[in-house]
Amino acid sequence: MPTMALATLVHPTGSHPASWLHPSTAAGGSTDIAHYRALAQLAERGMFDLFFIADTPAARTTNLEAYARFPLFMNVFEPLTLLSALAGATTHIGLGGTASTSFSEPYNIARQFASLDHISGGRAAWNVVTSANDFAARNFGLDRLPPHGDRYERAREFVDVVRKLWDTWEDGAFLRDRESGLFFDPAKQHPVAHEGAHFRVHGALNIERAPQGQPVIIQAGASDTGREFAAETAELVFSSDSTVESGRRFYADLKGRMARHGRPPEALKVLAGLPAIVADSEQEAEDMYQTLQALIHPDVGRMRLGMDLEADLSGLPLDEPIPPERIPASANLHRAYFEHILGLIREGLTLRQLYMRYERGNRTIRGTPRQVADHMEEWFTTGAADGFMLTFSVLPAGMEAFIAKVVPELQRRGLVKREWAGRTLRENVGLRRPPNRHVAGG
Ligand SMILES: Cc1cc2nc3c(=O)[nH]c(=O)nc-3n(C[C@H](O)[C@H](O)[C@H](O)COP(=O)(O)O)c2cc1C
């Protein structure tokens, strides 16, 4: 029986917006490499396949009263730099990070992730995002993000060029043969000749082909365009669904799109987002959740909801519904999150109820080890997920509890591996090593 892939998205003190206020977390962890090293080693001991760092290339510059209480991405390491350091502190866990196709060039990204793949011995993964905030745009010469469709068009071409660059050297091109005096075999270089709507690249990467052939491509776009892009290019997809039924629909939809792009369904693994709080009793887990929820300042609640609704919610009373005239007709940032909030608004919730309920498409599972394992087993065995992207409300305590209590239970059920399948991320999650396009039958 195949086993499930386990990934974890790590924010320094945990995924809950108030995690840094909780006494169990290290408030200074965000720029402390020892803190991240310990987290990555913990995840590796727990047989996680992937340690993932999300990113946006900007600190917010407005609404600072609220961001001062919820410092997401306000003081963080650049992901590639961080992951390179973690490569030296771990041996098997995959190292994934976000880099935006809207604010970089394919050559930079191809080179950085190829380097990380070498540094880590085949454990690199790139989360391809088009970015979804104007703060980032303003750091890169733009006033605001280009429209959604244009960002995805650029992303498609961007990934295509990156992959071409990753194939510019055949495996084994670097001979380092002192006898013949040849450091590399000139016949094994295949420069890119790309002329597209967004990029012109004529040249080759200055690093040999990656241990994984190509680093793993991750994608998490939820819109129709995002899904189509994932079906065409992604190997790991982070999904966000709050029920097993919608999880199955997403899974079937995404895998169903792959044939059009000539890809078999097993070439892509869906990792369902799962915020989890595990404790010995259901009540204890619920209490932990409510303790954290109570720490959300109303300004933070308003701001987080407003960000994804793309609406200014300041000044509105907390215990009344949002007036319809404040709700935009459509979204340019996170379409799926936007639709999800509209659904909650239609239920008639007040502003306070909305921000307490809204979890960016997910729902935190609070339960005993058995309940959490049952949930994961159901999703895994009924076609809603090939694995999970776990987030823990507080770190490291949340991850420690999961590893101590849930992982052994899943192993007993034969759902999580006990031994590593190999040394590369591809081997451990069951993705094949891509052949080089320039090598016949390669
Ligand atoms: C687990 C997970 C991690 C994500 N990480 C990032 C990230 O690091 N940076 C980012 O800009 N977007 C991130 N996203 C957002 C998605 O990449 C995507 O922009 C969003 O789901 C909207 O998709 P759409 O534009 O196709 O609607 C993440 C989404 C999920 C579910």
Same domain? 57 vs 169: yes
Same domain? 258 vs 344: no
Q: Which of 60, 76, 129 is the pocket-test mutation for ligand 1 (most atoms within 8 Å of CB)? A: 129
3-state secondary structure 322-339: CCHHHCCCCCCCCHHHHH
Residues 6+ apart with CB under 8 A from 248: 382, 383, 384
Residue 308 within any structural domain of the chain: yes
**CA angle at 392 for the pair 25 and 227, rounded to the nearest 5°:** 140
Residue 180 within any structural domain of the chain: yes
Ligand 1 centre distance from Cα of residue 216 (Å): 17
Same domain? 294 vs 369: no
Q: How far is CA 204 from CA 110, 395, 432, 440, 442, in A?
A: 10, 42, 24, 20, 19
Residue 438 within any structural domain of the chain: no
Q: Which of 127, 145, 217, 239 is the pocket-test mutation for ligand 1 (most atoms within 8 Å of CB)? A: 127
**Which ligand 1 atom is the nearest neighbour of the CA of 225?**
26
Same domain? 206 vs 347: no
| Rg of the Cα atoms in the chain | 22
Same domain? 119 vs 155: yes
Whole-angstrom distance, CA of residue 76 vs CA of residue 94: 20
Q: Which of 357, 386, 401 finishes a domain?
A: 357
Same domain? 320 vs 219: no
| Host domain of residue 239 | 5-285+362-429
> 361: which 2 tokens?
């498409």
pLDDT value, residue 362? 77
Same domain? 56 vs 42: yes
Same domain? 217 vs 344: no
Same domain? 269 vs 398: yes
Residue 23 within any structural domain of the chain: yes
pLDDT value, residue 442? 58
Residue 114 within any structural domain of the chain: yes
Ligand 1 centre distance from Cα of residue 358 (Å): 16
pLDDT value, residue 332? 78
Same domain? 57 vs 162: yes
* Chain CA centroid to CA 138, Å: 23
**Which ligand 1 atom is the nearest neighbour of the CA of 129?**
17
Ligand 1 centre distance from Cα of residue 220 (Å): 5
Residue 440 within any structural domain of the chain: no
Same domain? 280 vs 302: no
Residue 434 within any structural domain of the chain: no
CATH number of the domain enclosing 57:
3.20.20.30
Identify the helix (H) or strand (E) that includes residue 228.
helix 224-233
pLDDT means per 10 residues, the chain with 442 residues, are 95 96 96 98 98 96 94 96 98 98 96 98 98 90 92 97 98 98 98 98 98 98 92 97 94 98 98 97 96 94 92 92 92 84 93 90 91 98 98 98 98 98 98 96 66
Which residues carry a binding-site annotation for FMN?
55, 98, 148, 152, 223
Q: Which of 426, 366, 431 is nearest to 117 (CA)?
A: 426
Same domain? 263 vs 302: no
Q: Which of 308, 329, 357 finishes a domain?
A: 357
Closest residue CA from atom 9 of ligand 1: 55
pLDDT value, residue 131? 86
Amino acid at residue number 100? S
- Name the domain count of the chain: 2
